[in-house]
Amino acid sequence: MGIFEKMFGKRDPLAQLRRDFSQQNWAAAFNAVCLLDRGQLSPEEQAEIADIELQAGDRLAELNLFEGEGEVRNGRLVRAREHFQLACQQARSPELQQRAEASMVQLDQGGSPRLEKESGGVTARCADCGPDGSPGGAFTAGGQDDDLDDESRFEVLLATLPESQAERYFETGPAFRRAWLASQGDDPQHALALFEAVPESERDPLFYSERGNLKGRCGEFEDARADLSRALHDEPELFVALSGLIELLASGGHLETVEQLLRETLAEERFQGYCWANLAQLHAQRGEDDQALDLALRALAAGRAEQGTVLLCARILEDKERFAEAEAMLAKLPTGGCGGGAHPLLAEFWLRRGQHLDKSLETFKAALRQEPGNPRWVLRIAQVYLARGWHNEAAAQIDRLLGHEDLGDELRQEVKATADQLRT
């Protein structure tokens, strides 16, 4: 029996849907809508279901957008992306769909300084801890919605996890649940106090893993390491313990220990894709591109297709002038937001190669609509115009940028270089 069957049981689907909706049980209502066979409903019932879908979907999307934004502030960008993906799938009103798409685009394009740090190497978050990593949801204590009780928040959180992992958290006791929900918020000391209230009989490896991750956030390195090491020793197959320990060690600069742990885990044939991806980042940081590429390709073959690994492969392949392979790698990236089209990083590759300029221009204009005023996309549009020989149009865009106050050093140099090209 699946976890949602355990939660809700087998009941008349339409009656249960109405009950969930009336109780503002948004996740259950939205999931039930998606499972209904609307062809068996009357026109009046179909209209009712459409309204429920709109309201429940938008409510969930708002919640996931809020949580995703909180994860961005906390530097947990893989988790943020999971929330934004859910918001894209759930949003039904055009305004919320656009907001969800914009959040995805900004995160995928490196619009956040934290994103650039994360995708740059293992010291930030260790090569994209994915859906099999630590729990993908966060409920910030200062921003919890008063309309949702703890069980509802817990339910929404479980919906972001793979079923096998959600099953594990679903089986925990109420004391652990309270501590875990609190640990996702902005008051870690309160969460630690709640973890201390978990009975000794319930302190299993999942408990030590979550408490260790929280202590790491609080700067209690040795205690965090002890908890995470204990969890991993007692349950080697608990991924959240491994990923938490790797992240803790990496953030503390213990990269030799990180590499040793990754290689030991590989030797035990556990979490191979994850280990290859992280080892690839370590080799790339040392400038060992051949080894990094080999390991990253192994990670991709094992199903670890996170953005950091894809971009690492694409960067090395492009540096080696293996352009067709680099393009194919960038094509693996999710399309621009939820609305389709090329990913902007693929469009930038095309622009560097002088290829598919029309598609590139459409992509950059779409990105600018999602992020109005972002100078990166204004510059890219100008560069496409210049490549097409449309000097007046390019000059108009560059004029918008020359007096821009928020340009970073790298982008400012690109603007000046493009202005110089226009003058010549």
Same domain, 50 and 147: yes
Same domain, 64 and 133: yes
Q: Is residue 5 part of a domain?
A: yes
Q: Is the pLDDT of residue 300 over 50?
A: yes
- Residue 120 pLDDT level (bands cut at 50, 70, 90): very low
Same domain, 14 and 144: yes
Same domain, 322 and 353: no
Q: Is the pLDDT of residue 187 over 80?
A: yes
Question: What does the alpha-carbon distance between residue 152 and residue 182 come to, in Å, rounded to a whole number?
Answer: 14
For the four alpha carbons of 373, 374, 377 and 381, in that order, the dihedral sign comes to positive
Do residues 344 and 363 touch, judged by C-beta distance below 8 A? yes
What was the pLDDT predicted at 351?
97
Mean pLDDT of the chain: 82
Q: Is the pLDDT of residue 116 over 70?
A: no
Do residues 327 and 346 touch, judged by C-beta distance below 8 A? yes
Q: Is the pLDDT of residue 127 over 70?
A: no
Domain holding 391: CATH number?
Answer: 1.25.40.10
Strands (E), 204-320: none
Question: What does the alpha-carbon distance between residue 329 and residue 149 come to, in Å, rounded to a whole number?
Answer: 43
Q: Is residue 42 part of a domain?
A: yes
Query: Which residues, 6+ apart, have CB-to-CB distance to 420 below 8 Å?
Result: none
pLDDT tens-digit map of 309-352:
999 999 999 999 999 999 999 998 876 444 457 889 999 999 99
Question: What does the alpha-carbon distance between residue 56 and residue 396 come to, in Å, rounded to a whole number?
Answer: 44
Same domain, 328 and 413: no
Question: What does the alpha-carbon distance between residue 59 and residue 63 come to, in Å, rounded to a whole number?
Answer: 6
Question: What does the alpha-carbon distance between residue 18 and residue 24 come to, in Å, rounded to a whole number?
Answer: 10
Overall average pLDDT of the 233-259 stretch: 94
Number of independent structural domains in the chain = 3
List the domain range (segments joined by +) for residue 371. Answer: 345-423
Burial class (CB within 10 angstroms; exposed 0-12, middle 13-18, buried 19+) of 74: middle
User: Which residue, of 151, 175, 197, is where some domain finishes?
Assistant: 151
Q: Is residue 208 part of a domain?
A: no
- Which among 149-158, 328-337, 339-348, 375-384 has the top mean pLDDT? 375-384
Look at the block and give the residue holding tokens 């039930």.
Answer: 32
Q: Is residue 161 part of a domain?
A: no
Same domain, 89 and 33: yes
Element (H, E) at 309: helix 307-319
- Which among 3-17, 160-174, 236-250, 392-406 has the top mean pLDDT? 236-250
Q: Is residue 188 part of a domain?
A: no
User: Which residue, of 286, 312, 334, is where some domain finishes?
Assistant: 334
Do residues 46 and 20 touch, judged by C-beta distance below 8 A? no
Question: What does the alpha-carbon distance between residue 224 and residue 195 come to, in Å, rounded to a whole number?
Answer: 13
Query: Which residues, 6+ apart, have CB-to-CB distance to 192 below 8 Å?
Result: 211, 214, 215, 218
Q: Is residue 120 part of a domain?
A: yes
Same domain, 311 and 419: no
The angle at the Cα of 37, spanning 33 to 43, to the nearest 5 degrees, equals 90
Same domain, 10 and 35: yes
Burial class (CB within 10 angstroms; exposed 0-12, middle 13-18, buried 19+) of 307: buried
Overall average pLDDT of the 6-32 stretch: 69
Same domain, 314 and 416: no
Q: Is the pLDDT of residue 13 over 60?
A: yes
Of 18-32, 123-137, 285-299, 356-370, the poorest mean pLDDT is in 123-137
Same domain, 285 and 399: no
Query: Which residues, 6+ apart, have CB-to-CB distance to 85 below 8 Å?
Result: 104
Same domain, 13 and 134: yes
User: Which residue, of 334, 354, 370, is where some domain finishes?
Assistant: 334
Question: What does the alpha-carbon distance between residue 418 and residue 119 come to, in Å, rounded to a whole number?
Answer: 27
Q: Is residue 360 part of a domain?
A: yes
Enter the DSSP assignment of 275.
H
What was the pLDDT predicted at 156?
66
- Residue 35 pLDDT level (bands cut at 50, 70, 90): confident
Q: Is residue 250 part of a domain?
A: no
- Residue 420 pLDDT level (bands cut at 50, 70, 90): very high
pLDDT tens-digit map of 53-77:
888 888 888 888 888 888 787 767 7
Same domain, 277 and 132: no
Do residues 251 and 220 touch, judged by C-beta distance below 8 A? no
What was the pLDDT predicted at 82?
79
Question: What does the alpha-carbon distance between residue 37 and residue 55 come to, in Å, rounded to a whole number?
Answer: 19
Query: Identity (one letter) of the amino acid at 73?
Result: R
